[in-house]
Amino acid sequence: MTHIKIHTTLLGLALPLSFFITTSFAEDLPSKEEMWTMIQQQQAQIKRLEAIVGVTNKALSKTTVRLEENEKKIEAAGDALDQISNSSGGKSRPPTSVGGYAELHFNGGRTDQIDLHRFVVFLSHEFSDKIRFFSELEIEHAVVENGQVGAVEMEQAYVEMDINENNRVGVGVQLIPIGILNETHEPPTFYGVERNNVEKNIIPATWWEPGVRLSGNLTESLSYDLMMHSGLDTTGQAYKIRSGRKKAAKAPWKNAAVTARVTWQAMTGVEIGATVQYQDDITQSSPADENAAATLFEIHTDLKRAVSKNGTFGFRALFAQWNIKAAQADLIGRNIQRGWYVEPSYKITIDDNNAVGVFARYSVWDNEAGDNIKSSFRQTTVGLNYWPHENVVLKLDYQIDNFDQQTSEDNRINLGIGLQF
Amino acid sequence: MRIYLLIILSYLIFSPAFLWAENDKEYVKTTDYISAALGAMPEKSSVIWITKDIRPDIIKILRRSNFPLRYRYYRRGNHTVWILDEIGKVMPITTGVTIEDGKIIDLTVLTYRESHGSEIRFPAYSNQYNSVTLTNGLHLSKPINGISGATLSTNAMKRVSRLALYLHNKVLEKDGPSQKK
């Protein structure tokens, strides 16, 4: 009963109050005319805002176009600057390249001399993706004139053409594919101030001839070289191999030679190579000397393996032998000319720019090994290389000679600086 | 002997002409490499400019101060592909390097122009770079064995891989890693 009374009382109070509120709110509402005016004002405002957005969009489009134009200009400027600086990696790359190397030697002992032994310029040109030209021009011993020991030599000048991805042919003056040093002899790439005497006196490095060379990869680890080239001419040189090089200077073609090499990359950093060469007469049928067919056999290994983060162990070994079929060569023991060497080394890379390596080499060579007369040369060399940059090297070594002909011995210190670029 | 030598000589000289008639260029094409690395050839390449702040690092890696103002690259997700030229002995070697999240996942020599050392084109050599990263000192995270007679070419490969890793890291730092895989 009490609840019913309370509800009735509240209802009685609420009805008059709601009437009062509704009446006063209706009096506060704008009239129809006022509402229409407000709508028109809002419409005008929307149109103004639309106009502003339109202008902004146009400006944005223009800005976008300008940005694209500027990007194009920046790209063009970048291309032009890259071309000027001749940098690699840009869109355009100069087809002509220049490189080179040089080495200055001091030889102590009885030799006691300093010599700008070699200054070499490489000039190469890429005609197309398939055809390239390589050249190497060398000045030896600084001065070239009568009475001086210097020489200007064109050691390479040939065109190389790709047959396909794995085979190519080279035509012109080329280095004979043999040994370790004959093709790669830039000073920072080998130990010792002077090049080793086995490759110098037996192979004989550096050896270049004009001819045609077919090279390629038989498999991913097996490569070959087959070269037909002008041969040696030992006329008047008593079958001395090194003196028989004609160096592409009006070299006789009468008795050309054929060289074949197979190289096996047993694993990364391990190469084993073997070369055979045949020339049917190294006197070029000269009436002054007896005809002499000659065969050269060479085998080598070149190992360079990282054994720690900064340490690389190296090992080079080479054996080479000439067999010359001539009675006159037999008489002076030059029917067999042979040599071999072993060279362990260890290189420590100190930082980005500095590395140091130590080595020892034992060499034996004999250009008159075909008789019983003792005529061999034995040499032990120990030393170190210091690279202040990967392409610059300072060298120091000490050589101990043990020759059958003792008067030729010259135990000495050798110093050298070499570079390549 | 001489007649046989002349026959061999003639064959060797003219063999390229005979063989070219049947063999088109067989090097790996740049577009093929990029497509294979990213699944498809992107519409356009991106560019990273060698600004003042990163220039000293590039000099340290390349050991010279002469290099392009900018390098182009192709990106998909966190993969980037770099096509770079670097001189070995005298000729430039064109190399493709694919990197994912700061780690080399492929290095392929696209064109080798040097006269010696073409073995660096083969996986026995190039696979050494797989999973290699760049250390804080801008070195490769593991030693790489070279190829006999191709010291300069293998040095060039090391520079190219370091450069690609460095630029990749800069791109990811600048643009942020992608969520897309």
For residue B70, tell me if it sits in a domain.
yes
pLDDT at B29 > cutoff 60: yes
pLDDT (tens digit per residue) in B123-161: 999 999 999 999 999 999 999 998 888 888 999 999 999
At residue B178, the pLDDT reads 66
Q: Does B52 map to a domain?
A: yes
Residues 6 or more apart from A26 whose CB is under 8 A from it? none
Largest Cα separation within chain B, whole Å, is: 70
Q: Hey, of A131, A160, A162, which one would you mutate to test binding to chain B, going by the most B CBs within 10 A of its CB? A: A162
pLDDT of residue A138 exceeding 90, the answer is yes
Task: For residue B45, give its domain range.
Answer: 28-175
Collapsed DSSP state (helix, strand, coil) of residue A99: strand
A258 three-state secondary structure: strand
Q: pLDDT higher for A394 or A36?
A: A394
**Inter-chain touch B15–A134, beta carbons under 8 Å:** no
Whether residues B123 and A124 touch (CB distance < 8 A) is answered with: no
* Residue A58 to residues A45, A51, A69, A261, A389, Cα–Cα distance (Å): 20, 11, 17, 72, 58
Q: Which residue of A has its CA nearest to B27?
A: A165
B2 is a domain residue: no
Per-residue pLDDT, A80: 73
CA distance A359 to chain B (A): 17
20-79 in chain B: CB under 8 A from chain A: 20, 23, 25-27, 47, 60, 63, 66-71
- Do A324 and A335 touch, CB atoms closer than 8 A? yes
What number is the average pLDDT over the span A144-169? 92
Strand partners, A158: A134, A172
Average of per-residue pLDDT across A248-257: 92
Average pLDDT (B57-79) is 92
The Cα of B177 is separated from the nearest Cα of chain A by a number of Å equal to 24
Most A CBs within 10 Å, among B46, B111, B148, to test the A interface: B148
Are residues B145 and A254, on separate chains, in Cβ contact within 8 Å? no
B13 part of a folded domain: no
Residue B90 has pLDDT above 90, yes or no: no
Does residue B167 carry a pLDDT above 70? Answer: yes
Do the chains contact at B119 and A223, CB–CB below 8 Å?
A: yes
Question: A261, A249, A201, A258: which is closest to A231 by C-alpha?
Answer: A258
* pLDDT of B13 higher than 80: no
pLDDT at residue number A325: 96
A81, A189, A256: residue with CB nearest B151: A189
Lookup: tokens for B32:
């093929």
Q: Does B14 fall in a domain?
A: no
Closest-CA residue in chain B for A307?
B143
pLDDT of residue B181: 43
Residue of B nearest to A222 (CA): B119
Written as six digits, the tokens of B2 are 């001489």
CB pairs under 8 A between A and B: 158
Looking at residue A121, its pLDDT comes to 97
Strand order of the sheet with strand B103-111? B46-49, B70-76, B79-87, B92-100, B103-111
A255 shares contact with chain B (CB less than 8 Å): yes
A 183-212 residues with CB < 8 A to B: 183-184, 186, 188-189, 211-212
| Averaged pLDDT of chain A | 90
Q: Is residue B1 part of a domain?
A: no
- A99-124 in b/e form (b: 16+ CB < 10 A) is bbbbbbbbbeeeeeeebebbbbebbb
Instruction: Report how many domains make up chain B.
Output: 1
**Looking at chain B, which residue has its C-alpha nearest residue A162?**
B16
Mean pLDDT of all residues in A253-275: 94
Mind listing the pLDDT tens digit for each residue in A2-16? 455 555 555 555 555
Binary contact (B5, A258; C-beta < 8 A): yes
Confidence category of residue B22, pLDDT binned at 50, 70, 90: very low
Q: Tell me, what's the pLDDT at B26?
A: 42
Residue B7 sits at the chain A interface (C-beta within 8 Å)? no
Question: Which of A32 and A337 is assigned the larger pLDDT?
Answer: A337
- Of A82, A97, A161, which has the smallest distance from its Cβ to B68's Cβ? A82
Indicate the range of A93-97, A113-117, A358-362 predicted with least confidence: A93-97
Where residue B1 falls among pLDDT bands split at 50, 70, 90? low
Average pLDDT over residues B169-181: 76
- pLDDT of A48-99, one tens digit each? 998 888 888 888 888 888 888 887 777 777 777 766 655 444 445 788 999 9
Among A74, A88, A226, pick the best mutation site for testing chain B contact (most B Cβ within 10 A).
A88
* Cα(B131)–Cα(B157) distance, integer angstroms: 15
Q: Does a structural domain hold residue B92?
A: yes
Does B25 score more than 90 pLDDT?
no
**Mean per-residue pLDDT, B71-85:** 94
> Could you tell me the sign of the dihedral formed by the alpha carbons of B120, B122, B127, B132, in that order?
positive
Helices then strands, counting H and E runs in chain B, come out as: 5, 5
Q: Tens digit of pLDDT for each residue in A273-289?
A: 999 999 999 999 888 77
Binary contact (A165, B13; C-beta < 8 A): no
Report residue B86's pLDDT band, with 50, 70 and 90 as the boundaries.
very high
Contact (CB<8Å) B147/A306: no
Q: How far apart (Å, rounded) are the C-alpha atoms in residues A21 and B148?
A: 103
Flag whether B12 is in a domain. Answer: no
Q: A-contacting residues of B 131-150, CB under 8 Å?
A: 139, 142-150
Percent of chain A surpassing pLDDT 90: 71
Q: Which residue has the higher pLDDT, A289 or A160?
A: A160
Asked if the interface predicted TM-score (ipTM) of this complex is over 0.85, the answer is no
**Residues of A numbered 353-412 whose beta carbons fall under 8 angstroms of chain B's beta carbons: which are they?**
389-390
Q: Which residues of A touch B8 (CB under 8 A)?
A: 228, 258
